[in-house]
Amino acid sequence: MMHSRAPNPVMQIVTYGAVFFCVTSLTIVWTRFSGGLALVWPGAAIAAALFLTIPRSHSLAAAVTLAAFSTLATALFGLGPVWAIPFALVNVFEAWLIAWLLVRFRPQQDYVESEIGIVWLGFLAGIVGPLAASIPGGILASQVIAGGWQEHSFSWFIAHGLGTLLVMPLTLLLASYKKPVFARLLKRDRILPFIGMTLLTIGISAVALLQSTFPTLFLPVVPLVLASFRFGRFGAAITVLLITLASAGTLGTDTGVFAELTIPLWQKALFLQFYLSILVLLSFPLAVALKQRQRFMEELANREAMQRLIADHSDDALLQLDQHGMIRFASPASIRLSGRDKVVDLHLAAFFSEFDKEIVDRTLRSAAQYPGHTEIIERSVERGGQTRWLEAKLRAIDSSKHQASAYVVTIRDVTARKLDEIQASREARTDALTGLPNRRAFLDVLEDQLEFAGEEPFALALVDLDYFKRVNDSYGHAVGDAVLKQVAEIMRESANDNCFFARLGGEEFGMIAVGPARETAAIICEKLRLAIQRHVMTDNDGGTFNITASLGIARIAERCSSSMAMQAADGPLYSAKAAGRNRLRHAQDMGRHGENRKPPLEDSRVAANS
């Protein structure tokens, strides 16, 4: 069932069997009065612990060994050899059942390591297992001892439940401890206090149990709590065991406080069980909680040391804020990223510009509303005359009142990443050959202008190089690419904040003119046409040639789709091509509802340079 901690299961079975024999024999001798059943039975705890700590393949061997020792103890000191084997079978069955139930319902096997594990141990080992075995045990006892089987079953349940509940935690602890643990216990700074605690427990238990003048049964709680604090679960188990032995001794000899109780012996045993159970339920969960707290504090100290190490050597600023967004802790990197000599007791907005405080406050409120969710702020700041980008990730820590009691924040310099993003965006919107904006960028600008075309009309022109295919066929694509680059350079010379040029694809270009340039768009296009016509191109052999361009221009004065706007300029471009190329054609004005608001086509033409 439980993974074996012993290197040799056979030796473990023999050892447990011998201890089982000694303990059960002494129990029968000391606690079996008037020829009845033993008042306390710790043997089930020892046997169940054996089943829990050996491999399942050795369970049968363990059962046979325990049955043999139980038979021997009962035959020598109990009910004689005739009934020894049946009682041994019930005893072994009870121990096996307890172990099976524990593994079945608490597979974590934390029976002495957590509060819930202790609860399961007490319920299954102290109640369910003994209750199941008490029926066959009581029936057997009624065949040998005077009295009904119900009475004997109750006595069995009390004795076995008490013994298992008291002894099994200690047995499991001893089975789980290793040599280094005992080596630490045997050191002088621990063994002497342990011996002192043992003597104190014995002395206080004697005072509380052997006299009946004053009600002092609460006194053993004092060494029990002290032992739990000083020695943890092991100390609590040893102290409870000492108090149990002292109580069983006074009960068996009918002296002290138990002698004054005018009730039958089995009721005294029931009272003793209740008393000791209270001690177990008081001490063991306390010891486990203290152990868990010690582990938690050690883990917390290790985690804090690790976080301090990371914070001291991290390029990111690590911050802790109070519920108002004020900085209570800041790592060394905060000085560099904030540009300040000190940031503690300042608001988180101190890392950003004064105009960003409202954004920071809004982000803090959003984080407080959804604790556990990470909010991100990304803003540009000025540091040393340079523009830097900072990224802050913050998360609220939820308090018991369901309000943000604090925040944790990391701040990182993401300038390099931001520049890469800007460069990638620029490249995605830039024509790789000419360096002009590409069709995607052109359409984005066009969409923006169309949003307000009714209030702010603009001019849209399409430019197409004439007979460009002949250039590629005659001089090669390398010369054709050079021509496109030179045309783009001419356009760049004409571009400004109000005049936007882009390469739309192949030999086709586009222009958008806004504001003052809108009124002179025709002049700009005509100058562009002439500049392209007059520019001398060079081929690979040093020869020269000229190219021309046809242009179509439209005035957009109403919101419409980008395709309709492009068609408005494409129509006059087609007319310019059809009319002989190397000319500029104007479209009719696109006004509200597509009505014609200007006279029909106007034609500007300059003779081609052939």
Q: Is 507 a catalytic residue?
A: yes
How far is residue 233's CA from residue 239's CA, in Å, rounded to a whole number?
10
- The tokens for 78 are 């109990």
Give φ, ψ of 404 to 5 degrees. Answer: -70, 120
Number of neighbouring beta carbons within 10 Å of residue 181: 12
pLDDT value for 482: 94
**Region 193-198: what's the mean pLDDT?**
86
How far is residue 559's CA from residue 451's CA, in Å, rounded to a whole number?
6
**Region 356-382: what's the mean pLDDT?**
89
pLDDT value for 441: 92
Say whether pLDDT at 259 is over 90.
no
Q: Is residue 608 very low, low, confident or very high in pLDDT (cuts 50, 70, 90)?
A: very low
Q: Give pTM, 2 decimals.
A: 0.49
Q: Is residue 254 very low, low, confident or very high in pLDDT (cuts 50, 70, 90)?
A: confident
- Between the alpha carbon of residue 464 and those of residues 379, 476, 565, 602, 604, the distances in Å are 42, 19, 17, 19, 16
Q: Is residue 284 very low, low, confident or very high in pLDDT (cuts 50, 70, 90)?
A: confident
How far is residue 359's CA from residue 378's CA, in Å, rounded to a whole number?
10
β-strands 327-330, 375-383: how paired?
Answer: unpaired
Say whether pLDDT at 610 is over 50.
no
pLDDT value for 502: 96
**Dihedral angle of Cα 280, 284, 287, 289, to the nearest 10 degrees:** -130
pLDDT tens column, 515-543: 988 999 999 999 999 999 999 999 888 88
Reduced to 3 states, what is the DSSP secondary structure of residue 459? Answer: strand
The lowest-confidence range among 53-62, 228-237, 285-294 is 285-294
Radius of gyration of the chain (CA): 47
Instruction: Between 508 and 187, name the one with better pLDDT.
Output: 508
The lowest-confidence range among 42-56, 280-294, 448-462 is 280-294
Q: What is the b/e burial string over 524-545, where b = at least 16 CB atoms within 10 angstroms of the residue's CB? A: bbbebbeebbeeebebeeeeee
Most confident of 391-400, 401-410, 565-574: 565-574
The lowest-confidence range among 233-242, 315-324, 595-604 is 595-604
How would you write 540-580 as a 3-class SS string?
Answer: CCCCEECCCEEEEEEEECCCCCHHHHHHHHHHHHHHHHHCC
Say whether pLDDT at 597 is over 80.
no
Q: Percent of the chain, pLDDT > 70?
A: 88
Please pick, among 94, 375, 507, 558, the residue that the annotation labels catalytic.
507
**Region 578-588: what's the mean pLDDT?**
91
Structural domains in the chain, sorted by start: 1-176 (1.10.1760), 180-313 (no CATH), 314-421 (3.30.450.20), 429-605 (3.30.70.270)
Q: DSSP string of 324-385?
A: TSBEEEE-THHHHHHTSS--TTSBGGGGS-GGGHHHHHHHHHHHHHSTTPPEEEEEEEEETT
pLDDT value for 256: 82
How far is residue 262's CA from residue 280's CA, in Å, rounded to a whole number?
26
pLDDT value for 605: 44
Give φ, ψ of 409 to 5 degrees. Answer: -140, 140
**Region 549-567: what's the mean pLDDT?**
94
Q: What is the DSSP letter of 411?
A: E
**Region 320-333: what's the mean pLDDT?**
89
- Average pLDDT of the chain, as a whole number: 84
- Classify residue 2 by burial, with Cβ atoms within 10 Å: 0-12, 13-18, 19+: buried
Q: Percent of the chain, pLDDT > 90?
A: 38
Which uninterrupted H or E stretch holds 154? helix 149-176
Say whether pLDDT at 2 is over 60.
no
Say whether pLDDT at 607 is over 50.
no
pLDDT value for 5: 45
pLDDT tens column, 56-110: 899 999 999 999 999 999 888 887 888 899 999 999 999 999 999 999 999 988 8
pLDDT value for 233: 74
Say whether pLDDT at 328 is over 70.
yes
How far is residue 485's CA from residue 427's CA, in Å, rounded to a whole number?
17
How would you write 463-513 as a 3-class SS string?
Answer: EEECCHHHHHHHHCHHHHHHHHHHHHHHHHHHCECCEEEEEEECCEEEEEE
pLDDT tens column, 400-429: 555 556 899 999 988 888 888 878 877 888
Say whether pLDDT at 599 is over 80.
no
pLDDT value for 35: 65
Would you say 381 and 307 are in contact if contact means Cβ atoms under 8 Å apart?
no
Say whether pLDDT at 28 is over 80.
yes
pLDDT value for 347: 92
**Region 5-34: what's the mean pLDDT?**
81
- Between the alpha carbon of residue 275 and those of residues 197, 272, 280, 287, the distances in Å are 21, 5, 9, 19
